[in-house]
Amino acid sequence: MNDDELRREYQHAKKTPPAGPHPDPERLGELVAGTLPESERLELLEHVLRCPTCGPELDLIRAASEGARAAERRMAPSRWMALAAAALILVGIGALTLRGHRTVVPPDVMRGGHIAVGVIEPVSGSTISSPVTLAWHRLDGAQSYNVELLTERGEVIQAWSTTDTTLALPDSLHMGAIRSYDMWVRAMLADRTEVSSPLVRFNVK
């Protein structure tokens, strides 16, 4: 049986909660934080991976941890504190106005109205060939553009600053070595503030 066949059969087998109590949520948090010794990690995972309720709980904690980590990677350390203070005001008001409403943000959809830099190439979700050229709409008042190329986990592969609105990625990046990339552009304005494009996911053949 190849890996896909094994995976299909394994996932088809019904999960039943193992004997004994479910681990406390805090222990699942420690598992994600990597603070447990190996024997405990293995013991805990043996329950979680067999348990139909604990498995999704672990994934929710992972989603929270990775989401925060990815958001943090976006920030230059010097900017983080100022923005974090502003975060308190902005999302606080947002919480007041949005409380009681669902605000689902699908992974590939940005909330409208706040993003001013439009990416032209690549088109989100497209598969393109190397060499890769990025292009975006000029933004009035922009003095330069910071462009980031990231892995799908949010790790910055390389960042550039340019006054142009296109950027040809150098061959040295070996685009296509991994399948999926994210990119986004931040326009740097005269008052030293920034305006961002959405994250654009694309694949390279």
Interface positions, 121-150, toward another protein (CB under 8 A): none
For residue 194, what is the enclosing H or E element? strand 194-196
DSSP β-bridge partners for residue 135: 121, 166
Contact segment (CB under 8 A) with another protein among 119-127, 132-140, 170-178, 189-197 equals 189-197
How far CA 49 is from CA of 56, 81, 96, 183, 203, in Å, comes to 9, 38, 38, 34, 31
Query: What is the distance between the alpha carbons of residues 32 and 26, in angstroms, rounded to a whole number?
Result: 10
Long-range contacts of 29-34 (CB under 8 A, 24+ apart): 29/61, 31/58, 32/58, 32/61, 32/62, 32/65, 33/65
Nearer to another protein, 133 or 158 (CB): 158
By rule CB under 8 A, what string of x and - marks binding of each residue 12-41 to another protein?
xxxx------x--xx-xx-xxxx---x--x
Looking only at Cα atoms, what is the longest distance across the chain?
Answer: 63
Would you count residue 178 as binding another protein (CB under 8 A)?
Answer: no
Nearer to another protein, 53 or 133 (CB): 53
Query: What is the distance between the alpha carbons of residues 151 and 24, in angstroms, rounded to a whole number?
Result: 33
Contact segment (CB under 8 A) with another protein among 81-89, 120-128, 129-137, 170-178 equals 81-89
Would you count residue 102 as binding another protein (CB under 8 A)?
Answer: yes
Query: What is the distance between the alpha carbons of residues 79 and 156, in angstroms, rounded to a whole number?
Result: 17
- Token couple for 39: 């024997």
Among 19, 20, 78, 111, binds another protein (CB under 8 A): 111
Among 19, 20, 21, 104, binds another protein (CB under 8 A): 104
Find the shortest distance in angstroms from Cβ 171 to another protein: 26
Contact segment (CB under 8 A) with another protein among 77-85, 118-126, 129-137, 166-174 equals 77-85
Find the shortest distance in angstroms from Cβ 22 to another protein: 8
Among 82, 120, 159, 178, binds another protein (CB under 8 A): 82
Q: Rounded to the nearest 10 degrees, how much is the dihedral formed by the CA atoms of 79, 112, 125, 69?
A: 30
Nearer to another protein, 39 or 129 (CB): 39
Task: Using the structure block, give the residue that is written with the tokens 């690549």.
Answer: 122
Would you count residue 52 as binding another protein (CB under 8 A)?
Answer: yes
Among 124, 144, 196, 203, binds another protein (CB under 8 A): 196
